[in-house]
Amino acid sequence: GRFYQHAPTETSQATLASVSPVFAVMKFDKKGNTTYFEKKKTELYQELGLQARDLRFQHVMSIATRNNRIIMRMEFLKAVITPEFLLILDYRNLSLEHWLLNELASQLAGEGQLVTYSLPFEFRAIEAILQYWISKLQGRLNTLQPQILETLEALVDPKLLSVDRSKLHILLQNGKSLSELETDVKVFKETILEILDEEEVIEELCLSKWTDPQVFEESTSGIDHAEEMELLLENYYRQAEDLLNEARELRVLIDDSESIIFINLDSHRNVMMRLNLQLTMGTFSVSLFGLIGVAFGMNLESSLEEDPRIFWLVTGIMFLGSGLIWRRLLSFLGRHLDPPLPPHVPPVLKKSQPAAGRVEIKTSLKGETFGLNRSTITNQ
Protein backbone atom coordinates (compact mmCIF):
# COMPACT_ATOMS: atom_id res chain seq x y z
CA GLY A 1 0.00 0.00 0.00
CA ARG A 2 2.83 2.46 0.76
CA PHE A 3 4.54 1.61 -2.54
CA TYR A 4 1.50 2.54 -4.61
CA GLN A 5 1.01 5.60 -2.47
CA HIS A 6 4.43 7.16 -3.15
CA ALA A 7 4.92 6.08 -6.76
CA PRO A 8 2.71 8.81 -8.34
CA THR A 9 4.54 11.53 -6.35
CA GLU A 10 7.97 10.43 -7.58
CA THR A 11 6.67 10.23 -11.16
CA SER A 12 5.18 13.73 -11.01
CA GLN A 13 8.41 15.18 -9.63
CA ALA A 14 10.43 13.56 -12.39
CA THR A 15 8.02 14.84 -14.98
CA LEU A 16 8.15 18.44 -13.65
CA ALA A 17 11.95 18.36 -13.58
CA SER A 18 12.10 17.11 -17.15
CA VAL A 19 9.87 19.89 -18.51
CA SER A 20 11.73 22.66 -16.66
CA PRO A 21 12.93 25.33 -19.16
CA VAL A 22 16.57 25.38 -20.11
CA PHE A 23 18.45 28.71 -20.23
CA ALA A 24 21.28 29.41 -22.63
CA VAL A 25 23.62 31.37 -20.35
CA MET A 26 26.59 33.61 -21.12
CA LYS A 27 28.76 34.35 -18.09
CA PHE A 28 31.13 37.33 -17.74
CA ASP A 29 33.59 37.70 -14.88
CA LYS A 30 35.40 40.83 -13.69
CA LYS A 31 38.18 40.43 -16.26
CA GLY A 32 35.79 40.08 -19.20
CA ASN A 33 36.30 36.35 -19.63
CA THR A 34 33.29 34.69 -21.23
CA THR A 35 31.89 31.20 -20.77
CA TYR A 36 28.83 29.59 -22.33
CA PHE A 37 26.65 26.86 -20.89
CA GLU A 38 23.08 25.63 -20.71
CA LYS A 39 21.32 24.97 -17.44
CA LYS A 40 17.82 24.16 -16.32
CA LYS A 41 15.85 26.79 -14.54
CA THR A 42 15.57 24.72 -11.36
CA GLU A 43 19.34 24.25 -11.13
CA LEU A 44 20.10 27.86 -11.97
CA TYR A 45 17.93 29.56 -9.36
CA GLN A 46 19.12 27.11 -6.71
CA GLU A 47 22.77 27.92 -7.45
CA LEU A 48 22.05 31.66 -7.35
CA GLY A 49 20.03 31.42 -4.14
CA LEU A 50 16.90 32.73 -5.85
CA GLN A 51 13.36 31.48 -6.25
CA ALA A 52 11.60 30.28 -9.36
CA ARG A 53 9.54 33.46 -9.71
CA ASP A 54 12.73 35.55 -9.79
CA LEU A 55 13.69 33.98 -13.13
CA ARG A 56 10.21 34.31 -14.61
CA PHE A 57 11.12 36.82 -17.33
CA GLN A 58 8.31 38.48 -19.19
CA HIS A 59 8.70 41.14 -21.84
CA VAL A 60 8.66 43.88 -19.23
CA MET A 61 11.27 46.29 -17.88
CA SER A 62 12.33 46.24 -14.25
CA ILE A 63 15.36 46.35 -11.97
CA ALA A 64 15.08 44.45 -8.68
CA THR A 65 17.28 42.91 -6.00
CA ARG A 66 16.90 39.41 -4.52
CA ASN A 67 19.26 37.81 -2.01
CA ASN A 68 22.18 40.13 -2.89
CA ARG A 69 21.52 39.61 -6.61
CA ILE A 70 20.41 42.23 -9.14
CA ILE A 71 17.83 41.03 -11.64
CA MET A 72 17.45 43.26 -14.70
CA ARG A 73 14.67 42.81 -17.24
CA MET A 74 15.01 44.95 -20.36
CA GLU A 75 12.34 43.34 -22.54
CA PHE A 76 14.30 40.63 -24.39
CA LEU A 77 17.50 41.36 -22.39
CA LYS A 78 17.60 39.25 -19.21
CA ALA A 79 20.50 39.63 -16.81
CA VAL A 80 21.49 38.56 -13.30
CA ILE A 81 24.28 40.55 -11.64
CA THR A 82 26.35 39.41 -8.67
CA PRO A 83 29.42 41.02 -7.07
CA GLU A 84 31.63 38.54 -8.97
CA PHE A 85 30.04 37.91 -12.38
CA LEU A 86 27.26 38.80 -14.81
CA LEU A 87 24.85 36.28 -16.37
CA ILE A 88 23.00 36.97 -19.60
CA LEU A 89 20.11 34.54 -20.11
CA ASP A 90 18.63 33.51 -23.47
CA TYR A 91 21.24 35.49 -25.36
CA ARG A 92 20.67 33.78 -28.71
CA ASN A 93 19.67 36.85 -30.61
CA LEU A 94 21.65 38.21 -33.58
CA SER A 95 21.74 41.84 -32.45
CA LEU A 96 22.28 40.85 -28.84
CA GLU A 97 25.12 38.46 -29.63
CA HIS A 98 26.93 41.17 -31.58
CA TRP A 99 26.83 43.48 -28.56
CA LEU A 100 27.79 40.74 -26.10
CA LEU A 101 30.80 39.55 -28.05
CA ASN A 102 32.14 42.84 -29.39
CA GLU A 103 31.37 45.40 -26.69
CA LEU A 104 30.20 44.04 -23.34
CA ALA A 105 33.23 41.86 -22.62
CA SER A 106 35.67 44.71 -23.28
CA GLN A 107 33.58 47.15 -21.25
CA LEU A 108 33.55 44.87 -18.22
CA ALA A 109 37.30 44.33 -18.56
CA GLY A 110 37.98 48.07 -18.41
CA GLU A 111 38.58 48.76 -22.12
CA GLY A 112 35.36 50.63 -22.85
CA GLN A 113 34.08 54.14 -22.15
CA LEU A 114 32.30 53.55 -18.87
CA VAL A 115 32.68 56.02 -16.00
CA THR A 116 32.38 53.44 -13.22
CA TYR A 117 35.70 51.59 -13.56
CA SER A 118 36.82 52.83 -10.13
CA LEU A 119 33.69 51.32 -8.56
CA PRO A 120 32.79 47.69 -7.87
CA PHE A 121 31.80 45.25 -10.58
CA GLU A 122 28.02 45.64 -10.26
CA PHE A 123 28.30 49.33 -11.18
CA ARG A 124 30.07 48.46 -14.42
CA ALA A 125 27.51 45.79 -15.27
CA ILE A 126 24.54 48.07 -14.62
CA GLU A 127 26.05 50.96 -16.58
CA ALA A 128 26.93 48.72 -19.54
CA ILE A 129 23.37 47.40 -19.77
CA LEU A 130 21.77 50.84 -19.36
CA GLN A 131 24.15 52.32 -21.92
CA TYR A 132 23.28 49.58 -24.41
CA TRP A 133 19.56 50.13 -23.95
CA ILE A 134 19.65 53.93 -24.23
CA SER A 135 21.87 53.70 -27.32
CA LYS A 136 19.40 51.24 -28.84
CA LEU A 137 16.55 53.69 -28.27
CA GLN A 138 18.64 56.54 -29.66
CA GLY A 139 19.45 54.46 -32.74
CA ARG A 140 15.76 53.87 -33.39
CA LEU A 141 15.10 57.60 -33.21
CA ASN A 142 18.04 58.37 -35.50
CA THR A 143 16.60 55.94 -38.04
CA LEU A 144 13.08 57.38 -37.89
CA GLN A 145 13.94 61.07 -37.86
CA PRO A 146 15.40 61.45 -41.40
CA GLN A 147 12.67 59.27 -42.89
CA ILE A 148 9.93 61.36 -41.27
CA LEU A 149 11.56 64.66 -42.24
CA GLU A 150 12.02 63.54 -45.85
CA THR A 151 8.41 62.38 -46.10
CA LEU A 152 7.06 65.60 -44.57
CA GLU A 153 9.17 67.73 -46.91
CA ALA A 154 7.63 65.93 -49.86
CA LEU A 155 4.08 66.25 -48.53
CA VAL A 156 4.14 69.87 -47.39
CA ASP A 157 5.10 71.26 -50.81
CA PRO A 158 2.42 73.91 -51.59
CA LYS A 159 2.74 73.32 -55.34
CA LEU A 160 1.27 69.84 -55.08
CA LEU A 161 -2.39 69.65 -56.09
CA SER A 162 -2.80 66.17 -54.60
CA VAL A 163 -1.13 64.02 -51.97
CA ASP A 164 0.89 60.93 -52.82
CA ARG A 165 -0.78 58.01 -51.06
CA SER A 166 2.47 56.07 -50.86
CA LYS A 167 4.03 58.96 -48.90
CA LEU A 168 1.05 59.03 -46.57
CA HIS A 169 1.40 55.28 -46.02
CA ILE A 170 5.09 55.71 -45.16
CA LEU A 171 4.23 58.57 -42.79
CA LEU A 172 1.59 56.43 -41.09
CA GLN A 173 4.06 53.59 -40.53
CA ASN A 174 6.71 55.96 -39.22
CA GLY A 175 4.12 57.54 -36.92
CA LYS A 176 3.31 54.14 -35.43
CA SER A 177 7.00 53.37 -34.96
CA LEU A 178 7.46 56.73 -33.26
CA SER A 179 4.57 55.99 -30.89
CA GLU A 180 6.14 52.65 -29.97
CA LEU A 181 9.47 54.38 -29.35
CA GLU A 182 7.81 56.96 -27.09
CA THR A 183 6.18 54.17 -25.10
CA ASP A 184 9.49 52.31 -24.67
CA VAL A 185 11.29 55.46 -23.53
CA LYS A 186 8.51 56.26 -21.04
CA VAL A 187 8.71 52.75 -19.58
CA PHE A 188 12.49 53.06 -19.29
CA LYS A 189 12.11 56.41 -17.51
CA GLU A 190 9.47 55.10 -15.12
CA THR A 191 11.60 52.07 -14.28
CA ILE A 192 14.55 54.25 -13.27
CA LEU A 193 12.31 56.75 -11.49
CA GLU A 194 10.80 54.03 -9.32
CA ILE A 195 14.29 53.17 -8.09
CA LEU A 196 15.27 56.81 -7.53
CA ASP A 197 12.20 57.32 -5.35
CA GLU A 198 13.20 54.44 -3.05
CA GLU A 199 16.39 54.95 -1.03
CA GLU A 200 16.31 51.40 0.28
CA VAL A 201 16.34 49.96 -3.25
CA ILE A 202 19.33 52.14 -4.17
CA GLU A 203 21.15 50.84 -1.10
CA GLU A 204 20.36 47.24 -2.06
CA LEU A 205 21.78 47.76 -5.56
CA CYS A 206 25.21 48.38 -4.00
CA LEU A 207 26.07 44.71 -3.58
CA SER A 208 29.71 45.16 -2.55
CA LYS A 209 28.69 47.48 0.25
CA TRP A 210 27.11 44.51 2.03
CA THR A 211 29.34 41.63 0.95
CA ASP A 212 32.74 43.33 1.29
CA PRO A 213 32.73 46.45 3.48
CA GLN A 214 36.50 46.79 3.10
CA VAL A 215 36.11 47.39 -0.63
CA PHE A 216 33.59 50.10 0.13
CA GLU A 217 35.89 51.84 2.61
CA GLU A 218 38.97 51.76 0.36
CA SER A 219 37.50 52.36 -3.10
CA THR A 220 35.52 55.54 -2.44
CA SER A 221 36.79 59.06 -1.90
CA GLY A 222 34.31 60.26 0.67
CA ILE A 223 31.24 59.46 -1.46
CA ASP A 224 28.89 56.71 -0.43
CA HIS A 225 28.15 53.93 -2.90
CA ALA A 226 24.44 54.70 -2.72
CA GLU A 227 25.14 58.25 -3.86
CA GLU A 228 27.25 56.93 -6.73
CA MET A 229 24.43 54.60 -7.75
CA GLU A 230 21.91 57.43 -7.56
CA LEU A 231 24.09 59.65 -9.77
CA LEU A 232 24.47 56.83 -12.27
CA LEU A 233 20.72 56.26 -12.50
CA GLU A 234 20.00 60.00 -12.70
CA ASN A 235 22.41 60.29 -15.61
CA TYR A 236 20.49 57.73 -17.67
CA TYR A 237 17.17 59.13 -16.51
CA ARG A 238 18.22 62.51 -17.90
CA GLN A 239 19.31 60.92 -21.18
CA ALA A 240 15.94 59.20 -21.47
CA GLU A 241 14.20 62.52 -20.76
CA ASP A 242 16.17 64.23 -23.55
CA LEU A 243 15.37 61.38 -25.91
CA LEU A 244 11.69 61.62 -25.07
CA ASN A 245 11.71 65.37 -25.71
CA GLU A 246 13.21 64.81 -29.15
CA ALA A 247 10.52 62.26 -29.94
CA ARG A 248 7.81 64.67 -28.75
CA GLU A 249 9.20 67.45 -30.93
CA LEU A 250 9.09 65.10 -33.89
CA ARG A 251 5.49 64.19 -33.02
CA VAL A 252 4.54 67.89 -32.87
CA LEU A 253 6.21 68.41 -36.24
CA ILE A 254 4.13 65.60 -37.74
CA ASP A 255 0.91 67.09 -36.34
CA ASP A 256 1.76 70.57 -37.61
CA SER A 257 2.67 69.19 -41.02
CA GLU A 258 -0.63 67.35 -41.22
CA SER A 259 -2.43 70.63 -40.56
CA ILE A 260 -0.42 72.33 -43.31
CA ILE A 261 -1.23 69.49 -45.72
CA PHE A 262 -4.93 69.83 -45.02
CA ILE A 263 -4.75 73.61 -45.45
CA ASN A 264 -3.00 73.24 -48.82
CA LEU A 265 -5.55 70.71 -50.01
CA ASP A 266 -8.41 72.94 -48.88
CA SER A 267 -6.84 75.89 -50.65
CA HIS A 268 -6.54 73.99 -53.94
CA ARG A 269 -10.05 72.67 -53.50
CA ASN A 270 -11.36 76.21 -53.01
CA VAL A 271 -9.56 77.36 -56.16
CA MET A 272 -11.16 74.58 -58.20
CA MET A 273 -14.59 75.33 -56.75
CA ARG A 274 -14.18 79.01 -57.52
CA LEU A 275 -13.11 78.25 -61.10
CA ASN A 276 -16.11 75.96 -61.51
CA LEU A 277 -18.39 78.70 -60.20
CA GLN A 278 -16.91 81.24 -62.61
CA LEU A 279 -17.43 78.91 -65.58
CA THR A 280 -21.00 78.28 -64.45
CA MET A 281 -21.63 82.03 -64.31
CA GLY A 282 -20.17 82.45 -67.80
CA THR A 283 -22.37 79.68 -69.16
CA PHE A 284 -25.41 81.28 -67.54
CA SER A 285 -24.59 84.67 -69.06
CA VAL A 286 -24.15 83.27 -72.57
CA SER A 287 -27.30 81.18 -72.27
CA LEU A 288 -29.32 84.19 -71.08
CA PHE A 289 -28.55 86.34 -74.08
CA GLY A 290 -28.58 83.33 -76.38
CA LEU A 291 -32.35 83.50 -76.15
CA ILE A 292 -32.24 86.43 -78.58
CA GLY A 293 -30.57 84.27 -81.21
CA VAL A 294 -33.08 81.52 -80.53
CA ALA A 295 -35.92 83.97 -81.04
CA PHE A 296 -34.54 85.15 -84.35
CA GLY A 297 -33.83 81.62 -85.47
CA MET A 298 -37.49 80.65 -85.34
CA ASN A 299 -39.43 80.41 -88.62
CA LEU A 300 -41.31 83.68 -87.98
CA GLU A 301 -41.59 86.50 -90.48
CA SER A 302 -40.73 90.04 -89.40
CA SER A 303 -39.23 93.09 -91.00
CA LEU A 304 -35.89 92.69 -89.18
CA GLU A 305 -34.61 89.70 -91.13
CA GLU A 306 -34.69 91.74 -94.35
CA ASP A 307 -32.06 94.18 -93.01
CA PRO A 308 -28.52 92.80 -93.70
CA ARG A 309 -27.08 94.67 -90.66
CA ILE A 310 -29.42 93.13 -88.13
CA PHE A 311 -27.30 89.94 -87.83
CA TRP A 312 -24.23 91.81 -86.63
CA LEU A 313 -26.33 94.00 -84.34
CA VAL A 314 -27.99 91.06 -82.60
CA THR A 315 -24.70 89.17 -82.33
CA GLY A 316 -22.98 92.20 -80.78
CA ILE A 317 -25.78 92.70 -78.29
CA MET A 318 -25.58 89.05 -77.28
CA PHE A 319 -21.80 89.05 -76.66
CA LEU A 320 -21.80 92.48 -75.02
CA GLY A 321 -24.70 91.64 -72.71
CA SER A 322 -23.18 88.25 -71.79
CA GLY A 323 -19.84 89.92 -70.98
CA LEU A 324 -21.44 92.60 -68.84
CA ILE A 325 -23.51 90.12 -66.84
CA TRP A 326 -20.53 87.80 -66.36
CA ARG A 327 -18.40 90.71 -65.18
CA ARG A 328 -21.12 91.75 -62.76
CA LEU A 329 -21.39 88.24 -61.35
CA LEU A 330 -17.61 87.97 -60.94
CA SER A 331 -17.48 91.25 -59.00
CA PHE A 332 -20.32 90.00 -56.80
CA LEU A 333 -18.40 86.76 -56.22
CA GLY A 334 -15.20 88.64 -55.37
CA ARG A 335 -16.92 90.82 -52.78
CA HIS A 336 -18.36 87.83 -50.94
CA LEU A 337 -15.41 85.39 -51.16
CA ASP A 338 -12.35 87.61 -50.70
CA PRO A 339 -11.20 87.91 -47.09
CA PRO A 340 -12.11 91.23 -45.47
CA LEU A 341 -9.45 93.83 -44.79
CA PRO A 342 -8.09 93.98 -41.23
CA PRO A 343 -9.76 96.62 -39.06
CA HIS A 344 -8.12 99.99 -38.81
CA VAL A 345 -6.10 100.43 -35.63
CA PRO A 346 -5.80 103.99 -34.27
CA PRO A 347 -2.23 105.27 -34.18
CA VAL A 348 -2.52 105.82 -30.42
CA LEU A 349 -2.83 102.08 -29.83
CA LYS A 350 0.11 101.23 -32.10
CA LYS A 351 2.63 103.05 -29.90
CA SER A 352 4.29 101.08 -27.18
CA GLN A 353 3.18 102.40 -23.82
CA PRO A 354 3.50 101.11 -20.27
CA ALA A 355 0.93 98.75 -18.88
CA ALA A 356 -0.83 101.47 -16.86
CA GLY A 357 -1.22 103.63 -19.98
CA ARG A 358 -2.77 100.76 -21.90
CA VAL A 359 -5.23 100.17 -19.11
CA GLU A 360 -6.21 103.85 -19.09
CA ILE A 361 -6.74 103.87 -22.89
CA LYS A 362 -8.91 100.77 -22.76
CA THR A 363 -10.92 102.23 -19.91
CA SER A 364 -11.47 105.51 -21.75
CA LEU A 365 -12.52 103.71 -24.92
CA LYS A 366 -14.98 101.63 -22.96
CA GLY A 367 -16.39 104.74 -21.35
CA GLU A 368 -16.82 106.46 -24.70
CA THR A 369 -18.48 103.51 -26.43
CA PHE A 370 -20.61 102.42 -23.50
CA GLY A 371 -24.30 102.73 -24.30
CA LEU A 372 -23.83 103.26 -28.08
CA ASN A 373 -25.21 100.93 -30.67
CA ARG A 374 -23.09 98.98 -33.15
CA SER A 375 -23.59 101.32 -36.11
CA THR A 376 -22.42 104.36 -34.11
CA ILE A 377 -19.26 102.56 -32.99
CA THR A 378 -18.52 101.49 -36.57
CA ASN A 379 -18.93 105.06 -37.85
CA GLN A 380 -16.59 106.37 -35.17
pLDDT at 271 (0 to 100) = 75
Q: Mean pLDDT lowest for which of 7-11, 111-115, 280-284, 293-297?
A: 7-11
- Catalogue the long-range contacts made by 129-134 (C-beta closer than 8 Å, 24 or more residues apart): 129/72, 129/74, 129/77, 129/79, 130/232, 130/236, 131/236, 132/77, 132/99, 132/103, 132/104, 133/74, 133/77, 133/188, 134/188, 134/236, 134/239, 134/240, 134/243
CA distance 92 to 226: 34
- pLDDT, one tens digit per residue, over 12-53 is 445 555 667 788 888 998 888 889 888 888 888 888 888 888
Q: What average pLDDT does this structure show over 49-70?
A: 82
- pLDDT, one tens digit per residue, over 153-174 is 887 766 665 667 788 888 889 8
Residue 219 has pLDDT above 50, yes or no: no
Residue 296 has pLDDT above 50, yes or no: yes
Kindly report the number of other CB atoms within 10 A of residue 130's CB atom.
22
Beta bridge mates, 70: 65, 81
Percentage of the chain lying above the pLDDT 70 cut: 71
pLDDT at 239 (0 to 100) = 94
CA distance 262 to 266: 6
- Provide the angle, in degrees to the nearest 10, between the axes of the packed helices 310-337 and 225-297: 160
Domain boundaries, the chain: 19-113, 269-297+308-333
Work out the pLDDT band at 357, boundaries 50, 70, 90.
Answer: very low
Work out the pLDDT band at 333, boundaries 50, 70, 90.
Answer: low
Kindly report the number of other CB atoms within 10 A of residue 252's CB atom.
10
Q: What average pLDDT does this structure show over 285-301?
A: 69
pLDDT at 371 (0 to 100) = 41
CA distance 137 to 75: 13
Give alpha helix (H) positions in 19-120: 41-47, 94-99, 105-108
pLDDT at 160 (0 to 100) = 60
pLDDT at 127 (0 to 100) = 92
pLDDT at 325 (0 to 100) = 77
How much is the pTM? 0.66
- pLDDT, one tens digit per residue, over 233-289 is 999 999 999 999 999 999 998 888 877 777 777 777 777 787 787 778 778 777 777
pLDDT at 376 (0 to 100) = 40
What end-to-end distance do the CA atoms of the chain give, in Å?
113
Residue with the larger pLDDT of the pair 222 and 317: 317
Beta bridge mates, 28: 34, 86
Task: Measure Cα distances from 329 to 283, 289, 325, 334, 340 in Å.
Answer: 12, 15, 6, 9, 19
CA distance 181 to 248: 10
Residue 207 has pLDDT above 70, yes or no: yes
CATH for 19-113 (3.30.450.40, 1.10.3720.10, 3.90.1300.10, 2.40.128.330)? 2.40.128.330
Q: Are residues 72 and 58 in contact, defined by beta-carbon separation less than 8 angstroms?
A: no
CA distance 56 to 23: 11
- pLDDT, one tens digit per residue, over 178-206 is 999 999 999 999 999 999 988 888 888 88
Residue with the larger pLDDT of the pair 89 and 317: 89
Work out the pLDDT band at 4, boundaries 50, 70, 90.
Answer: very low
